[in-house]
Amino acid sequence: MPKALVRLDDVSLGYEAGAVLQHLRFTVEEGEFLALLGPNGAGKTTLLRGLLGLLPVLEGHIEYCFDRAATPPGYVPQRETLDPIFPLSALEVVLMGTYARLPPLRPVGRRERALAAHCLAQAGLEAVAGQPFWALSGGQKQRVLIARALASEPRLLLLDEPTAGVDPGAAAAIMDVLSRLNREQGLTIVLVTHQLRLVRPVVGAVIWVDGGTAIKGPTAEMLAPERIMDVFGALATG
Amino acid sequence: MAALVEILRPGFILRDALVGSVLVGTVCPLVGVYFVLRRMIFLGVALPQLSAAGIAFAFVAYRLIVGPHEHGNVSERSLAIVGAFAFTLGGILVLAAMERRGRETVEARIGVTYAVAAALTILFLAVDPHGDAQMVNLLKGDILATTSASLGVLASVLGAVVVVLFAFRKEFLLVSFDRDLAVVFRKRVGVWDLLLYLAIGITISLGVMTAGPLVTFGFLVVPPLTARLLTRRMLSFSLAAAGIGGLTAFVGFYCAYRFDLPLGPAEVAVASVVLALVTAATMVGRWRTGARLAP
């Protein structure tokens, strides 16, 4: 019997102007690899931000079956949200992940440096540790951000469009890192994406976000050709 | 050379002013690093002006509530510090709150703040009949009038600011670089922002009191921009900005003393020349190696 990690009970999420998503009822189970899919503007990022605690829950309840203060979720934002003006090396960015467990006044120590180097190696980027973050390619930046999320030693990893705007080779490398983490370490992963073809072979389940709500189901069922045609065909014909 | 030897002598008559200059030149860039990284550079113009308005307001309020104040004594300086700090911190908190709401553009908010602060400074001075030349000097920052006592206060307070900036640098970096991640990590984002703003407010208030709005703005922005071109790490960026600030303040002081120039403008001019030279050298270097320019 899989163990629940996050449980949403009739949850509404949104902003000041009102709810974007309503009646959300699903469970993220431990060790799952989930894709959040749906048309543009359907509320995928809203749902991800709600799961991260970045948006207030308007109605209902999100139950986290782990101590979020002690083990916060790993978060990989879209890389464009981070300002390249900061003079940070790739390793310094990854070290930020270790701040999750460091109280104020406790400096980054040997353990944190070793952990950050290990996480960079897991993302296949040990060679760029000393390079400026701003000078890396889109795909490398994204993998550095994955390494940063791993450095917080999370039980749940949430990613916002990690393969958007990167070339197909880099996108495949990112998906390879993620599926390895899920398969070998049992890390629970939820990612927002538009790239059905890329995630179909690796994700075990899909949360389909559309029409102001979201439903969860197995990949084969949720990505059945007729369902895809239903949504994207309707959108295409306006 | 003789002038350099003279200003380095322990008994140099303007020793307190020199040390004050170098202190402001060193600490303002440490705070300014966050202005540059948070893309709040123009706030560096508005806040010192707001600080000046606070000084003028403090004197008007004192006169209305207590009575005429005496010029040149310690209580006048304390009054000025309270006014400068209250206005600077108040301004930065209001601007930060408005930024969260994001209804108007940043430039509009900062432009309005600067215009209102400049107008208020003049109006407060006009209202106070005791607003004579000495008070105008205080508003402009009369660094040559620095005394041992005021230098002691300046060194202690700016020293405390430096300790705070270094002790909590990982928290300040996290909330500045990736606020969302800080929230996910359940860090007290509001508290860290407030502490950073407090450090900024104190530094600007003392900077304006000691060296005036022009020097304060110059050293908040110019040394960090220079250091940004030379460094690739956060810590080296902060240290280089402080080092460049302190050094250019010293060279500016020397130039002012040697060539009988106004001190504040001389210091800012030296810092700007260094920025221009480093920018040119960096561009030539990048052009020759074909490397990309840092953003």
Q: Model's pTM, two decimal places? A: 0.89
Closest CA to B174 of A135, A151, A130: A151
Residue A182 CB burial class (10 angstroms; 0-12, 13-18, ≥19): buried
- Nearest 5°: the CA angle A161, A162, A166 is 105
pLDDT band at A236 (very low <50, low <70, confident <90, very high): very low
List, in order, residues 6 or more apart from B268 with CB less than 8 Å away.
Answer: B214, B215, B218, B219, B222, B252
DSSP for B135-170, please give it.
Answer: HHHHHH--GGG--HHHHHHHHHHHHHHHHHHHHTHH
Nearest by CB: B234 against A69, A92, A105: A92
How far apart, in Å, are the Cα atoms of A189 and each of A5, A29, A30?
11, 10, 9
pLDDT over 80 (residue B69)? no
d(CA A139, CA B252): 46
Q: Kindly report, residue by residue over A145-170, the tens digit of the pLDDT.
A: 999 999 999 999 999 999 988 888 99
* A84 contact residues in B (CB cutoff 8 A): 295
ipTM of model over 0.90: yes
pLDDT digits (tens, 9 = 90+) for B103-124: 667 778 888 889 999 899 888 8
Closest CA in chain A for residue B182: A100
Per-residue pLDDT at B111: 87
- Which of B184, B294, B295 is closest, CB to CB, to A53? B184
- Chain A CB contacts of B178 under 8 Å are 77, 81-82, 96
pLDDT higher than threshold 70 for residue B190: yes
Would an 8 Å CB–CB cutoff place B100 in contact with chain A? Answer: no
Averaged pLDDT of chain A: 91
pLDDT digits (tens, 9 = 90+) for A92-114: 999 999 999 999 999 999 999 99
- Whether A104 sits inside 8 A of B180 (CB atoms) is no
Instruction: Determine the residue of chain A that is closest to B236 in CA distance.
Output: A87
Largest CA distance in chain B: 67
Helices B106-127 and B74-101: crossing angle, nearest 10°?
A: 150
Q: Work out the minimum CA distance from A218 to partner chain B, whole angstroms.
A: 28
Kindly report the nearest CA distance between residue A76 and chain B, in angstroms.
9
For residues B58 and B121, the answer to whether their CB atoms sit within 8 Å is no
Q: Looking at CA atoms only, how far is residue A159 from chain B in angstroms?
A: 12
Q: Give helix then strand counts, H and E, for chain B.
A: 12, 0
CB contact under 8 A, A107 and B170: yes
Closest partner residue to B232 (CB to CB) among A99, A105, A132 is A132
Q: What is the pLDDT of residue B72?
A: 58
Q: Under a CB-based contact definition with an 8 Å cutoff, are residues A163 and A198 in contact?
A: yes
> Chain A partners of B294 at a C-beta cutoff of 8 Å?
87, 132, 134
The residue among B180 and B133 whose pLDDT is bigger is B180
| Cβ atoms A47, A92 nearer than 8 A | no
Comparing CB atoms, the residue among B167, B187, B234 nearest residue A87 is: B234
- Strand pairing category for A57-64 and A213-218: unpaired
pLDDT for position A124: 92
The CA-based dihedral angle spanning residues B221, B224, B229, B235, taken in that order and rounded to the nearest 10 degrees: -160
Instruction: Search chain A and give the residue with CA nearest B227.
Output: A87
- Give the mean model confidence (pLDDT) for residues A21-37: 95
Q: Which residues on chain A are in Cβ contact (under 8 Å) with B184?
A: 52-54, 72-73, 75
Q: Does B294 touch chain A (CB under 8 A)?
A: yes
Q: A57 pLDDT band (50/70/90 cuts)?
A: very high
